[in-house]
Structure 1
Amino acid sequence: MFQTFLSFRHISHVILVACLAVAGAAGSPAQAQSQGLMLGECAHAAQGYFRNYGAQTEMKYNGRRVDGSYAINGNIYLETRMESFACSYAPDGNRMIRFFVEGRVQNAYLPGHTRQSNSGADVMRVNGVSAGDLLNVRSGPSTNYRVVGRLGNGDRVRRLRCQMQGNSRWCEIEMMTDMRERGWVNARYLK
């Protein structure tokens, strides 16, 4: 009888230790999984920005900032170069609140981001592109910037603002797609 009591007590202790170990382990993976989701989502935002979903990324979780937000840094390896980027997450860790790449904030690439309708933006159509050709959409207002997209005659875009660059007028546009990508085109192709 005494032997049975010790066995029961020993089994209860083993079960208690096992439960505590499982509970402790469950807390760690949940936190690690949350970090993993942040890392993956940030990498995906960079791949979307550079329109290369097969590109290798190298990610680093930098922890919590003084303001409570979380910091992620990364590098993306493109065909001819490497680019760095950064993401910030809300204090609850469930929502990306900032995406920074190429020296500026690019929040249009945040997951689930929906931009408010800009009443000052004109909806225009691409026009004047040679038959069988596409209009290059660039990351800045000149042909010196990298191509971030292409549009054909008849494609609708939202013109956000324009500026002179040398002898040409360039306009920042927002493509009327689910991602609402932004870029720059020569104004002569917008009607």
Structure 2
Amino acid sequence: MRGFIKAIVFPAFAALGVSHALAQANDIRTERVEFAPGATSATIESRIVGYETVDYVLGAQSGQYMNVSMATDNVQNYFNIIPPGEENVAIFNSSTASGGNQYEGQLPATGDYKIRVYMMRAAARRNETANYRLEMIIGAADRSSAPSPSPAPDYADGLKGGPDYWEVTGVASNDTLNMRAGPGTANRVIAQFPNRSILQNLGCEMHDGQRWCSVAAADRPDLRGWVAGRYLREASVRPPSPPQGGDEQAGKAQYMAVKGIPDKLNVHSEPSTRAPNVGAFYSGTVMRIIGCSNIDGRQWCEVQPMEAGSRRGFVVASYLEDAPAALRAGQGAFDATGKIPCAQFSGQPMGQCDFGVARGAGGSASVVVTRPDGTKRALFFENGRFLSADTSQADGYPETSAAKESDLNMIRVGNERYEVPDAVIFGG
């Protein structure tokens, strides 16, 4: 297989003395990108911390086709595209784009374009770290003749061939990669996989300008679907075949709950009842599933209990069941976190509130929002529609209402206002 094309990056000019709007007064580091000879794409793997901002500069001609995508482990990590002659006016801002960290389009002018990578102010203020992989493609003006990404054994860049197995990578640590019934986000989710999951490669294709790959769960070949190719890279090792008659439970819900035990379920240091206990938990306790295997004729799951201070270990799988979204949300076992527009009081301008979401099947979800005063409000959805909120006698059982504007759910709970995108409810 051909080695993948890394970007050739040269330190360019002295750091620009221009402040990014979200980076306070920090300087912007500038690096010029050159494609390898004969290549039409380049890939950069790097990281930023806190208010660090990087401008990747590359030259292009008016009318050429550009495709830029970024996979990152921090949901507050975004990029802007700034055209020639501008310093802070962007033609694309991924933090507000419906497609997230993915851009494709025809370029309006000839000159140097800056791809500015940064973190939002809240994450930068907490000095968070973002590890990212940025891919840039420049091609012909006619999209039908625009080049496919360079075939690469390390990433799902090719549409044909490639490795036998992919590894999920670049998904935020608090999120999962959706496997869908068909290529594209309009198709229903049939399974979810965290980073480091292994998937069998069945081939990739372009759909709405993005690569989608047909895959099967490595430990359960009958579980097949489509995933976004930018979150895949070549698996370093081929996974072992599942034991005969074993149910490896690939694609099992990321979170499960203890069930059917009169006292407590023991968590062992190894997948054996003879191994030392590292914890014990009552029915209803939610656990994050790391992986499950058939060992000596018994199903074991490696788990991380959600209770603070709990140790990772192994439990007998028959004492676990899928955790309902509301139960998971109540214990902080979220499928994704982020910020949504909100206001707590009448006349208050809309601000940004932290949220966590636990998703169920068919558009059911429990969204827990942290209000400006630090208290929490839970919003419940069924079939993608707002159902109710956790009102109580303490807050006077305020009336609730909801309206739909395109893919945005406008919700009122008394004087409180929330704007919840469909992407929060269904996933990206």
State whether TM-score is above 0.5.
Answer: no
Whichever structure has more helix as a proportion of its residues is: 1
Higher-Rg member (1/2): 1
TM-score by length of 1: 0.37
Greater share of strand residues, 1 or 2? Answer: 2
